[in-house]
Amino acid sequence: MAKDYYGILGVPSHATGEEIKAAFRRRALELHPDRSGLERGPFQEVQEAYDVLSDPERRRKYDRQRKARKQRPTARRAPRKSRAEPLIPRRARPEPFAAPTGGSRRPPRPVRALCPRCGGGGEILGHICPWCDGRGEIIVLLG
């Protein structure tokens, strides 16, 4: 029921029954498949529009629905505030390193070490060592 029957017939929404009939005849002649060579679709739409608008009861019903559609507010509601947790929960934020039982602990420090895989050569059997990427050394964290 989303079709604009008045638009299909080309009449104003306050058109009288006579005007609607006249408009239908005009449009039907224009769009009749035998004459226009068009598909049946447009002609059927005109017929459908006329069927509804020429029947006072159906036209009243259609007008009501049409009016209701127009009055429906189009503005969308503001999006609801997201209740999702922030991406980083408070507790997971990095905290200063501290031992649980008092006293302070130093953060682990990165130390370079000879690559245990290639023994510092940077390659294994002629291939670049995948552990150290050929550097011959790796970074280890000493805590």
Question: Which residues make up the interface to Zn ion (CB under 5 A)?
Answer: 115, 117-118, 129, 131-132
Closest CB to Zn ion among 30 and 131?
A: 131
What is the smallest separation between the CB atom of 125 and Zn ion, expressed in angstroms? Answer: 12
What is the smallest separation between the CB atom of 141 and Zn ion, expressed in angstroms? Answer: 17
Closest CB to Zn ion among 23 and 118?
A: 118
Closest CB to Zn ion among 9 and 129?
A: 129
- In this structure, what token pair is assigned to residue 15? 């058109």
What is the smallest separation between the CB atom of 88 and Zn ion, expressed in angstroms? Answer: 35
DSSP for the chain, written as a single string:
----HHHHHT--TT--HHHHHHHHHHHHHHH-HHHH---HHHHHHHHHHHHHHTSHHHHHHHHHHHHHHHHS--SPPPPPPP-PPPSS-GGGS------TTSS--PPPEEEEEE-TTTTTSSEETTEE-TTTTTSSEEEEEE-
Closest CB to Zn ion among 33 and 110?
A: 110
What is the smallest separation between the CB atom of 91 and Zn ion, expressed in angstroms? Answer: 38
Q: Distance between terminal CA atoms of the chain?
A: 73
Closest CB to Zn ion among 98 and 111?
A: 111
What is the smallest separation between the CB atom of 96 and Zn ion, expressed in angstroms? Answer: 34
> Quick one: which of 16, 19, 21 has its CA closest to 46?
21
